[in-house]
């Protein structure tokens, strides 16, 4: 249905993404990186200050997840990795 609506509106479907990042995309990526970094730091700080070892472990794991998301975003932004995607 979505494709039909696009065709009716005269829009074309892009077969692959462009080689440039628009200003809007750049701002979105900046926000996403900032959020992941902030969440990672928050989880690390909370894990260090938590007295319950089980909760501290979960907080540490959550911090590692946010760090992995941050690294994944950076990987996608690295032009050297463009051939691997």
Q: Judge whether 72 and 81 are in contact, CB under 8 Å.
A: no
The rounded distance, in Å, linking the Cα atoms of 49 and 62 is: 15
Query: pLDDT by residue (tens digit) across 2-59?
Result: 555 555 567 888 888 777 878 888 889 889 999 999 999 999 999 999 999 999 999 9
Q: Judge whether 60 and 44 are in contact, CB under 8 Å.
A: yes
Q: Judge whether 70 and 30 are in contact, CB under 8 Å.
A: no
**What's the confidence (pLDDT) of residue 36?**
96
pTM assigned to the model: 0.69
**What's the confidence (pLDDT) of residue 81?**
64
Q: List the one residue out of 52, 53, 34, 55 whose CA is nearest residue 43.
A: 55
**What's the confidence (pLDDT) of residue 20?**
80
Which segments within 4-84 are labelled E, that is strand? none
């Amino acid at each position: 249905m979505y494709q039909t609506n696009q065709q009716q509106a005269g829009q074309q479907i892009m077969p692959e993404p462009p080689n440039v990042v628009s200003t809007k995309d750049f701002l979105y990526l900046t926000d996403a990186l900032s959020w992941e970094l902030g969440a990672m730091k928050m989880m690390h700080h909370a894990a260090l200050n938590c007295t319950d070892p089980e909760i501290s472990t979960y907080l540490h794991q959550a911090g590692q997840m946010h760090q992995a998301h941050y690294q994944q975003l950076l990987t996608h932004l690295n032009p050297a990795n463009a051939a691997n995607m």
